[in-house]
Amino acid sequence: MVLKDRFGRPVTNLRISVTQKCNLSCIFCHKEGETGKANSEMTVEEIGKIVDIASFFGIRKVKLTGGEPLLRKDICEIVSRIRENSKIEEISLATNGWFLADLAVNLKKAGLNRVNVNLASLNPEIYRLITGFDGVDRVKEGLYYALKAGLTPIKLNMVVLKTLNENEVWNMANFVSGKDMVLQLIELENLGDAKNFYEKYYVGLDEIEEKLRLKADKIIVRKLHNRMVYCLDGERIKVELVRPFHNSNFCMNCRRLRVTASGMLKPCLMRTDNHVDIISAIRMGESEEKLREIFLKAIMLREPFFK
């Protein structure tokens, strides 16, 4: 059974923030749309329980995020617990890559399928300006070990920022060429801490997309958010566009439900006023039936941000 919301949109993906902590200070970070502090992090078993409930409703893909999820000392145990659910077809993880070299092999053994790695720039100086730290070589090393471990295809996330890295798009495309990687160009979102500098750094992707369209040998449209993937140079280079804020198609084709680090079901990235508390019910030992009712309530609260 595939669950649909009130607008007929199937919900197939669960995105779980396992921590709000991060070792970097990226200027574009939207903290998964959350502004408050998590009172406590979910345990391995609590995360597994939420995944089990989600799988009952047909959700088959789980993405672990943060903050920086690899800061959790039990991140491999979290992956392993989710992998115990035979209904889950894919487990992925979004990371800044800082700790990936050390953990890639163990994550793969635990059952992780692939990773998304944030790399805003290949230029050490620009990377430091964006993240607050020197780390390009460290992230590159993490990518090497992730490729070697088979955490692929790797999605290389690049938030495009005016005056900072907008001129690096084609260098980044060449960087992924011939590797089992997809470059994801992400439009800056006007939420979370990003509101403070959105006008200064926002750059639309229209011009870049037009160049991609002209260069592409093949164009793929993904079901998730109706995203466009441009295949260049005989498909040696794949570039995917993520345009959430000025794109009604993004909302109308959204298949995702989120879980905050504190265990609240979050129907929409763009909103903080319609969370549904499931963690309290889990900690109170409520029945499976009750937990499913709570999960279903969150699904029915989903609505396109662009109405």
- Which value, to the nearest 10 degrees, does the dihedral of the CA atoms of residues 248, 250, 255, 259 take? -100
d(CA 280, CA 282): 5
Return all residues near 99 (Cβ < 8 A) that are at least 6 apart: 68, 70, 71, 142
pLDDT beyond 60 at 165: yes
- The answer, yes or no, to whether residue 225 has pLDDT greater than 70, is no
Looking at the predicted structure, is the pLDDT value of residue 219 above 60? yes
Mean pLDDT computed over 193-206: 80
Computed over every residue of the chain, the mean pLDDT equals: 92
User: Where does the pLDDT of residue 195 fall: very low under 50, low under 70, confident under 90, or very high at 90 and above?
Assistant: low
- Per residue in 47-61, pLDDT (tens digit) is 999 999 999 999 999
Pairwise CA distance, residues 293 & 307, whole Å: 26
C-alpha to C-alpha distance for 247 and 225, rounded to whole angstroms: 9
The rounded distance, in Å, linking the Cα atoms of 187 and 246 is: 9
What is the DSSP pairing of strand 13-17 with strand 61-65?
parallel
Tell whether the model's pLDDT for residue 247 goes beyond 60: no
Q: How far is CA 21 from CA 123, 231, 246, in A?
A: 25, 35, 29
Q: What are the tens digits of pLDDT across the range 81-133?
A: 999 999 999 999 999 999 999 999 999 999 999 999 999 999 999 999 999 99
pLDDT of residue 239: 97
| Residue 307, pLDDT above cutoff 70 | no
Strand partners, 209: none
Whether the per-residue pLDDT at 246 is higher than 60: the answer is: no
Task: Assign 37 a pLDDT band (cuts: 50, 70, 90).
Answer: confident
Tell whether omega for the bond before 67 is within 30 degrees of 0, i.e. cis.
Answer: yes
User: Is residue 305 over pLDDT 80?
Assistant: no
Q: Beta-carbon neighbour count of residue 222 at 10 Å?
A: 11
Q: Which residues fall within 8 angstroms of residue 305, CB to CB, at 6 or more apart?
A: 251, 268, 270, 271
Residue 193's pLDDT band (boundaries 50, 70, 90)?
A: low
pLDDT at 248: 63
Q: Is the pLDDT of residue 33 over 90?
A: no
- 166, pLDDT greater than 70: yes
pTM: 0.94
Assigned fold of 13-300: TIM Barrel (3.20.20)
